[in-house]
Amino acid sequence: MLLSAHVHAAPALRKGVDQGAWQAAIHSADLPRVQRLLRLGTPVDTRDRLGSSALMQASAMAKPLLALELLNAGADLYATDLRGKPVVAYAVEANSCEILEQLIQHGLVVDRSYADGYTALMWAAQNGRYQALQCLLKHGAQKELRNAAGFTALDLAHQARQGDVIALLQDAS
């Protein structure tokens, strides 16, 4: 009986170890440590208690070398955290064109809609992430798309009073 309980507890213990290892490697921006975890077979899409993956964390911290390593190892570029926030939203918030381009190169659909019909361009517009907005437009993001409430990226930029973003969206052809 004791052995059986020990065997069943091992996966939960291992999951906790994996989460801690990824978190430490990402937060210290330690590329060799990330590479070592991958070589050891540590699951790349392990989540922390908030549902955040290593790729989400690397994107949020604007660490393109770490993000690229994780993407090359097969990290889920469409993963969402427990709040439904996808990897691309983390990259947009960090205003990281480099990570956005890596996601796109690994197959991210630029105009994919997420919760409430929001696209990456809408998040960038609403939050004033100018470089992310430029990058998404360069990669063909459609500014005419509407979210579930019927708003375009330009509408959201107006609502949030994002002057530079408004000008960029109006000038984009």
pLDDT in tens, 116-132: 999 999 999 999 999 99
Task: Tell me the CA distances in angstroms from 47 to 16, 75, 95, 145, 169, one per residue in order.
Answer: 9, 11, 23, 31, 35
Tell me yes or no: is domain 1-74 CATH 1.10.490.
no
Dihedral (C-alpha) 98, 103, 106, 108: value to the nearest 10 degrees? Answer: -140
DSSP for 110-158, please give it: TT---GGG--HHHHHHHTT-HHHHHHHHHTT--TT---TTS--HHHHHH
pLDDT at 15: 53
> Rounded mean pLDDT of 149-161?
98
Angle 46-96-42 from CA coordinates, rounded to 5°:
20
* pTM as predicted: 0.88
What is the architecture, at CATH level 2, of domain 106-173?
A: Alpha Horseshoe (1.25)
Confidence of residue 18 (pLDDT cuts 50, 70, 90): confident
Q: Where in the chain is the domain with CATH 1.25.40.20?
A: 106-173
pLDDT by residue (tens digit) across 58-86?
A: 999 999 999 999 999 999 999 999 999 99
pLDDT at 62: 97
pLDDT of 20 = 87
User: What's the first-to-final CA gap in the chain, in angstroms?
Assistant: 69
In the predicted model, is pLDDT for residue 87 greater than 90? yes
Q: What is the pLDDT of residues 134-143, one digit of tens each?
A: 999 999 999 9
